[in-house]
Chains A and B, each alone.
Chain A
Amino acid sequence: MLLELKNIKKYFPARKDFFGGTKEYVRAVDRVDLQLRAGENLSIVGESGCGKTTLARLIVKLYPADSGEIIFEGQDITRFSFAQMKPFRSRVQMVFQDPYSSLDPRFTIFSVFQEAMHLEQGRYPSVDEQKKRMEELLEAVQLPADILGRYPHEFSGGERQRIAIARALIMNPQLLILDEAVSSLDVLVQEQIIQLLLDLQKRYQLTYLFISHNLRVVRRISARVAVMYKGKIVELAATGKVFKNPQHPYTKELLAAALDYRPVKRTTEIVLGENSQLVDTGGGHFVIQ
C-alpha cells in the first residue's frame, strides 16, 4: 500500500464567539479513510468546497491534520517534524491548479528547476549535471530544451503546466497529486496534458492522486474514483462501476449534471449521518451508509 489515510479530520474555524473561542467549524475533511495502491490512479471528485483540495493539502502536510493518520509506505508521517519529513517530501509531489501562479514570475525556468535540485544536496553537484537532468525532464514533458533561460510569463497555460509537472518530477516522486491540474486549460490542451500524464506514468512508474470536478478527464486517467461530498467520501469504487452504476444519490446527481448536462431534481436533501461509514456493497463498491 503506497498511501493510507485513516480517519483523517480537518475542521476550520468559521465563527468565533465574543471571547475568541470557536463557535462553529467548517468540516472540510470529516473522518476520511482512503487507500491508494502503487500504480493505481485514484481520483477524488466532487463539487467546489467539498474538501477535496484540503484533503490533498493534508497529504502533503501543507496543513496539519486535526486527527487521524497518514501512512506513507507503512510509516505514519502525520506528526513528523520538518526534518523528519525530508525524505518523504521528494516522494510525494504536487501539481497545482493555476498554471499562472504556480511558477514564481521572477524566476527563470532554470532557477525554478534548480531550486528543487538544491533540495537534494549532492545529487546534482555541477551545473552541467543539473542542466542534463533539466533537459531530460523537458524532453519528457515535450518542451524544447532551449527554454531554460525564459520567464514564466512567456509561456501559455499548457506550457506552464508542463513546466510545473517537470518541476514536480525533478525529485523523482512516487506519488503525484494533481490538484485540478488540467481544469483551467482549454479542452484540446487538457487532452494533451492527460496523454502526457499517462506517458509519464509508464516512464517513471508514477501513481496519481487526481483531484478534479471534471468527470470526463477523471474517467480517462483513473482506476478508481472517490466521490466526496461535504467533507466525506460518499462513494468509492472502480471507475467503470461508478460511472455505470452510481449508488449514492449525490453521485447520480453529479454524473447527470456533468456528463449529460441534465439537471437532477433533488427530491430530498442529502443528509450524511454523524456516524455514517463506507460500506462495501459488493465487489469493492463502497457507498456511505
Chain B
Amino acid sequence: MTNKKSLSQLQIAWQNFKKNRTAMVCVFILGIFYGSALFADFLSPYSYDNEDRNYSYCPPMKVHWVDAAGRFTGPQVYGMTLKFDEYHKRIFVEDNSQRFPVRLFVQGDPYKFLGFIPSRTHLFGVLGEGRLHLLGADTRGRDLLSRILYGGRISLSIGLIGVFISFSLGLLVGGVAGYYGGKIDNFLMRFCEVFMMVPGFYLMLALRSAVPDNFNSLQIYLAVVVILSFIGWAGLARIIRGMSISLKEREYVLAAKVMGLSDFTIIRKHILPHTLSYSIVAIMLSIPGYILGEAALSLIGLGIQDPTASWGNLLSEAMGIVPIHFAPWILLPGVFIFLTVICFNVIGDTLRDCLDPTLKTEGNH
C-alpha cells in the first residue's frame, strides 16, 4: 500500500473509463476523425476546391485489382463516361479502355502540411488523366471524400473552440456569481437569463444577421464559433453557480480564506476544479450541440460558405429530393456528423459514470 503510487480521483476515474469498451471504441473513432481532420490535406486525394465538371454527381468509384481476364493489375480505376439511360437519366458508365493506376504518395494539388511545410504529396491518388472519387463527387465534380476530410476540420474544431469559449465564460461567471453571492450574483444570473430566454435557434439567427456579409471564410468561421458559444454558456453558468454556492461553504475553502488566499485564487484552485467532474461531462455532451449548430447554420446557408467545406454545408447540397434521389452519396457527411455526435454522447455518459460512481449505482436501482 505504501509503495503503491497514490492516485488522485481523476486518475481513478480514468482507470475505470479505460475498462469500458464501447467508450474506448468511441474514443478511437473520434481519434481517427480528429487525426484525419488534422492531416486532411495529406490524406485527401484532392484539394477541397478541385473540381471537374465532367464528373458532376459521379457515383463512388470502384477500385479494380484485376483486369477482365482475371490478371492482377494492381489498384486501378476506370474512366467514367456520362450517358443517358432510356428515361433520359444521367448515368456514369465505366469505360474499360481508360485505365488509371491508383498509387500511394502521388503528387497532386499543392498544400502546406500542418500549415507551414509546402508539399504536393498526397497519401494516395490516381495517375494520368483520370479522377478518383471513392465516395463520389458533388454537383460540381469535387471529390466528396476530400471535402469531407476538409469539412471535418471546420466541423470538428468548431465544437472544441466553441466549447472552450463558452465554458471559460460559463465557469468564470458561474464561479464568481456563486462565490460572491448577493448583488453580483443577482446581476450575473439575470444577465444569463436574458440569454436563456431567447430560443437558441432564433438567437443564433439574430446574432448571425449582425455579422457583415462580406466576411471571408476564416472570418465567417470565427463568427460562427462566437455565435455558437454565446448560446451555450448561460445554462452552464447557472449550474456552476449552484455548485460554487455549496462549495464555498466547504472547510477547505474557509481554511484557504483564513490563510489569506485571494478570492480569485480560491475560485480558481478550490472551487472551479471541483466542478470539473460535472464540467467534463457537460463539455462532452455539449460538443455535439456546437457541431449540429454549425451544421444547421451552414445548412440554411448562413454558416460556412462554398467553396470552403464543412459537414453542414456539404449536407446543404442534399436539401432537395432530386439530388438525394439521384446521388444518395451526398448524404455521407450526415453519417460523419451522426457518428461524431454519438461518440461524444457515449464518452460523456461513460465519463459521468466514472467520475461520479454514486450516480451510477443510483441509476441501477
In the bound complex, how far is the Cα of B250 from the Cα of A97, in angstroms? Answer: 11
Find out whether the CB atom of A102 lies under 8 angstroms from the CB atom of B251.
yes
CB within 8 Å for A89 and B8 given contacts A62-B254, A102-B255: no
Residues of chain A with a CB closer than 8 A to B9's CB: 105-106, 151, 153
**Chain A residue nearest to B262 in the complex (CB):** A82
Residue contact B270 to A104, C-beta cutoff 8 Å: yes
A149 at the interface (CB under 8 A from B): yes
Residues in chain A near residue B274, CB distance under 8 A: 106
- By the criterion CB–CB under 8 Å, are B8 and A96 in contact? no
Structural contact, A150 and B261, CB atoms closer than 8 A: no
A171 contacts the other chain (CB 8 A): yes
Q: Are A102 and B252 in contact (CB under 8 A)?
A: yes
A86: chain B residues within 8 A (beta carbon): 260
CB of B68 within 8 A of chain A? no
Q: Quick check: is A134 within 8 A (CB to CB) of the other chain?
A: no
Determine the distance from Cα of A92 to Cα of B260 in the docked complex, in whole angstroms: 11
CB-based nearest B residue for A92: B258
A208-B143 Cα distance, complex, nearest whole Å: 78
Q: Is A167 in contact with B8, judged by CB distance below 8 angstroms? A: no
Q: Mark A202-228, 1 if CB is under 8 A from B, else 0.
A: 000000000000000000000000000
B15 on the A face (CB < 8 A): no
Given A82-B262, A93-B258; A98-B8 close (CB under 8 Å):
no
How far does the alpha carbon of A98 sit from the alpha carbon of B251 in the complex, in Å? 7
Interface residue A103 (Cβ < 8 Å from any Cβ of B): yes
**Contact (Cβ within 8 A) A119 B261:** yes
Q: Are B255 and A62 interface neighbours, CB within 8 A?
A: no
B262 smallest CB distance to A (angstroms)? 7
Assembly CA distance A115 to B255 (angstroms): 11
A105 / chain B contacts, CB cutoff of 8 Å: 9
A146 near B252: Cβ-Cβ < 8 Å: no
B256 interface residue (CB < 8 Å to A): yes
- Contact partners of B6 in chain A: CB under 8 A: 108, 149-151, 154
B364 an interface residue at 8 Å Cβ cutoff? no
**Which of B252, B254, B262 is the most central at the interface, judged by chain A CB atoms within 10 Å of its CB?**
B252
CA–CA, A7 to B270, complex, Å? 34
B261 proximity list for chain A (CB < 8 A): 115, 119
Q: How far is the CA of A57 from the CA of B6 in the complex (A)?
A: 34
A199 to chain B, nearest CB (A): 22
- CB-nearest residue of chain B to A164: B255
Q: A146-B2, A154-B6 are in contact. Are A106 and B273 (CB under 8 A)?
A: yes
A85 within 8 A of B: yes
Q: In the complex, A106→B261 CA distance in Å?
A: 17
- Looking at the complex, which one of B8, B10, B252, B259 makes contact with A119 (CB distance below 8 Å)? B259
Asked if B257 is an interface residue, CB under 8 A from chain A, the answer is yes
Contact A89/B259 with A106-B274, A146-B2 known, Cβ cut-off 8 Å: yes
A94 at the A/B interface (Cβ < 8 Å)?
yes
Q: Given A119-B260, A150-B6, A151-B6 in contact, is the A103-B252 Cβ separation under 8 Å?
A: yes
User: Chain A residues with Cβ under 8 A from B259's Cβ?
Assistant: 89, 93, 115-116, 119, 171
* Most interface-central of B7, B251, B262 (chain A CB within 10 A): B251
Which of B7, B251, B254, B260 lies in contact with A89, CB distance below 8 A? B260
Rounded to whole angstroms, the CA-CA distance of A97 and B249 in the bound complex is 13
Shortest CB-to-CB span from A86 to chain B, Å, is 6
CB distance from B134 to the nearest CB of A (A): 48
**In the docked arrangement, what's the CA distance between A62 and B254, Å?**
7
Chain B 259-275 per-residue mask, 1 if CB under 8 angstroms from chain A, else 0: 11110000001100110
Residues of B within 8 A of A171 (CB): 259
B262 contact set on A, CB distance < 8 A: 82
- CB of A267 closer than 8 Å to a CB of B: no
CA distance A97 to B10 in the complex (A): 26
The yes or no answer to A101 lying at the interface (CB within 8 A) is yes
Bound complex: CA A289 to CA B285 (Å): 64
Q: Does A90 contact B (CB under 8 A)?
A: yes
Q: A5 interface residue, CB < 8 Å from B?
A: no
Per-residue interface assignment for chain B, residues 1 to 22, with 1 indicating a CB less than 8 Å from any chain A CB and 0 otherwise: 0100011111000000000000
How far does the alpha carbon of A167 sit from the alpha carbon of B258 in the complex, in Å?
12
Given A82-B262, A85-B260, A106-B273, A167 and B255 touching (CB < 8 A)? yes
* Complex CA–CA separation, A151 to B10 (angstroms): 12
Chain A residue nearest in CB terms to B7: A151
Contacts of A153 in B (CB 8 A): 9
Q: Shortest distance in angstroms between B207's beta carbon and chain A's nearest beta carbon? A: 35
Rounded to whole angstroms, the CA-CA distance of A164 and B255 in the bound complex is 9
From A89, A108, A154, B258 is in contact (CB under 8 Å) with A89
Say whether A234 faces chain B, with CB atoms less than 8 Å apart. no
Q: Are B8 and A62 in contact (CB under 8 A)?
A: no
List 9 interface pairs A-B (beta carbons < 8 Å), by A numbering. A57-B254, A62-B257, A94-B258, A96-B254, A103-B252, A116-B259, A150-B6, A153-B9, A168-B255
Further contacts, 12 of them, CB under 8 A, given A89-B258, A93-B258, A106-B10: A62-B254, A86-B260, A90-B260, A94-B255, A101-B252, A102-B251, A104-B270, A106-B9, A115-B261, A146-B2, A151-B7, A151-B8
Q: Give me the interface of B with A, judged by CB distance under 8 Å.
A: 2, 6-10, 250-252, 254-262, 269-270, 273-274
